[in-house]
């Protein structure tokens, strides 16, 4: 009997949202690509936003997955059939409808993938790829903070503080880990109930984002020296708090959403910008309005080095996944879980 060439996948529906299809052709990996049998997927706020603002009918959805290599494309040398792997991709892609994680088989880019050690489950592994990509771009590339990786020894006599606003988010805990490994001193804002979690990921200090003196408290703690802020929450109130925390010499602020112009220009000595994680693919981001981005080959080159580093750190046990809420139900249940993210019912 000839093996089936079709698979089940969640694709963008013409009426909006997702639909479960059972007749999607299993893709063939192109050069530099890997076909994986998906064992676990993870959801993030990106999955809820993209289906609302840039749904592509017929395109496979999803970003984060882990699984087993089924076959490799021409030129792939780091992975072979049978390897355990985690990867990041960007689904509902207008330029490539086969890209996406919400399927029985998914394509991974060799440059943006890591080996999964045996002591890490597929569920744990599937939650890490997008966080690595997003935090890496925000911290070590422009329009992010453009910090050096690692921090140069010549800078050891200067303050090393970097503020992560939203330190208890998935991106926040990954950013905290990467900062500490790179030689910086991560400090975070979070709910006091999450202080222990943030400290377990390497935060040197935690500040209550609900406090009216949060920004001033951070400024005092850092002796007026803070110059770098990564805002994982990104609304006008958190941006205002971050601006208050930055020292009097000014600095740089990066967010994951468009920044508030009302707050942005309250300080001319602070450079504020925001990023789109899909630029790490190196190809244009074809999303309407301000979310679109041109081709960024420098981000792809950075992504290669970043995921090589992450592969090494995973193998050494030096980075770990954000605390998980594991849900069952397979592909058919994902639209419900995406809606939970949309309304804030994500258990975090």
- Coil, helix or strand at residue 237: helix
Q: Could you list the residue range(s) of the whole structural domain that residue 220 is in?
A: 142-274
Residue 81, Cβ neighbours under 10 Å: how many? 11
Q: State whether 39 and 150 are in the same domain.
A: no
What Rg value do the Cα atoms of the chain yield, rounded? Answer: 20
Q: State whether 107 and 156 are in the same domain.
A: no
Q: State whether 147 and 68 are in the same domain.
A: no
What CATH number has the domain bearing residue 113?
3.90.180.10
Q: State whether 170 and 93 are in the same domain.
A: no
* Burial (0-12, 13-18, 19+ Cβ within 10 Å), 86: buried
User: Any idea which residue has 């205002």 for tokens?
Assistant: 240
C-alpha 256/C-alpha 16 separation (Å) is 24
- 261 sits in which H/E element: helix 261-264
Q: State whether 169 and 107 are in the same domain.
A: no
Q: State whether 18 and 115 are in the same domain.
A: yes
C-alpha 135/C-alpha 71 separation (Å) is 29
Q: State whether 65 and 29 are in the same domain.
A: yes
Q: State whether 31 and 94 are in the same domain.
A: yes
pLDDT tens for each residue of the chain, 348 residues long? 445 799 999 999 998 899 999 999 999 999 999 999 999 999 999 998 898 888 899 999 999 999 999 999 999 999 999 999 999 999 999 999 999 999 999 999 999 999 999 999 999 999 999 999 999 999 999 999 999 999 999 988 888 999 999 999 999 999 999 999 999 999 999 999 999 999 999 999 999 999 999 999 999 999 999 999 999 998 999 999 999 999 999 999 999 999 999 999 999 999 999 999 999 999 999 988 889 999 999 999 999 999 999 999 999 999 999 999 999 999 999 999 998 887 765 432
What CATH number has the domain bearing residue 218?
3.40.50.720
Q: State whether 168 and 255 are in the same domain.
A: yes
Q: State whether 211 and 98 are in the same domain.
A: no
CA–CA distances in Å: residue 190 to residues 6, 109, 203, 251, 342 = 45, 34, 11, 21, 20
Residues 102-128 as b/e (b if ≥16 CB within 10 A, e otherwise) read bbbbbbbbbbbbbbbeeebbbbbbbbb
C-alpha 330/C-alpha 40 separation (Å) is 9
State the total domains in the chain.
2
Predicted structure pTM score? 0.96
Q: State whether 10 and 123 are in the same domain.
A: yes
Q: Look at residues 223, 250, 274 and tell me which one is the last residue of a structural domain.
A: 274
Q: State whether 151 and 121 are in the same domain.
A: no
Q: Is 246 among the domain residues?
A: yes
């Amino acid at each position: 009997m000839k093996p089936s060439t079709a698979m089940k996948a969640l694709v963008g529906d013409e009426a909006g949202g997702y639909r479960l299809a059972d007749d999607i052709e299993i893709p063939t990996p192109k050069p530099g690509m890997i076909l994986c049998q998906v064992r676990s997927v993870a959801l993030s706020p990106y999955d809820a936003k993209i289906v609302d603002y840039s749904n592509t009918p017929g395109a496979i959805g999803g970003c984060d997955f882990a699984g087993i290599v089924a076959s490799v494309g021409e030129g792939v040398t780091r992975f072979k059939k049978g390897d355990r792997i985690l990867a990041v991709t960007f689904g509902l892609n207008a330029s490539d409808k086969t890209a996406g994680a919400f399927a029985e088989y998914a394509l991974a880019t060799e440059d943006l993938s890591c080996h999964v050690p045996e002591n890490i489950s597929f569920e744990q592994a599937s939650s890490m790829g997008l966080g690595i990509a997003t935090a890496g771009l925000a911290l070590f590339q422009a329009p992010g903070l453009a910090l050096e990786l690692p921090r140069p020894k010549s800078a050891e006599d200067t303050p090393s503080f970097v503020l992560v606003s939203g330190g208890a988010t998935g991106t926040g805990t990954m950013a905290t880990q990467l900062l500490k490994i790179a030689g910086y001193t991560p400090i975070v804002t979070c709910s006091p109930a999450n202080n222990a979690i943030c400290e377990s990921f390497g935060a040197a200090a935690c500040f209550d984002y609900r406090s009216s003196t949060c920004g001033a408290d951070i400024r005092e703690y850092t002796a007026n020296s803070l110059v770098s802020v990564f805002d994982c929450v990104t609304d006008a109130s958190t941006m205002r708090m971050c601006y208050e925390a930055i020292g009097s010499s000014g600095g740089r602020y990066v967010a994951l959403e468009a920044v508030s112009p009302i707050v942005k220009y309250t300080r001319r000595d602070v450079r504020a910008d925001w990023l789109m994680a899909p630029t790490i693919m190196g190809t244009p981001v074809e999303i309407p309005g301000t979310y679109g981005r041109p081709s960024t080959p420098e981000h792809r080159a950075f992504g290669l080095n970043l995921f090589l580093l992450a592969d090494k750190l995973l193998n050494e046990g030096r980075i770990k996944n954000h605390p998980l809420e594991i849900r069952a139900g397979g592909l058919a249940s994902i639209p419900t879980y995406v809606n939970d993210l949309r309304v804030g019912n994500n258990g975090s």
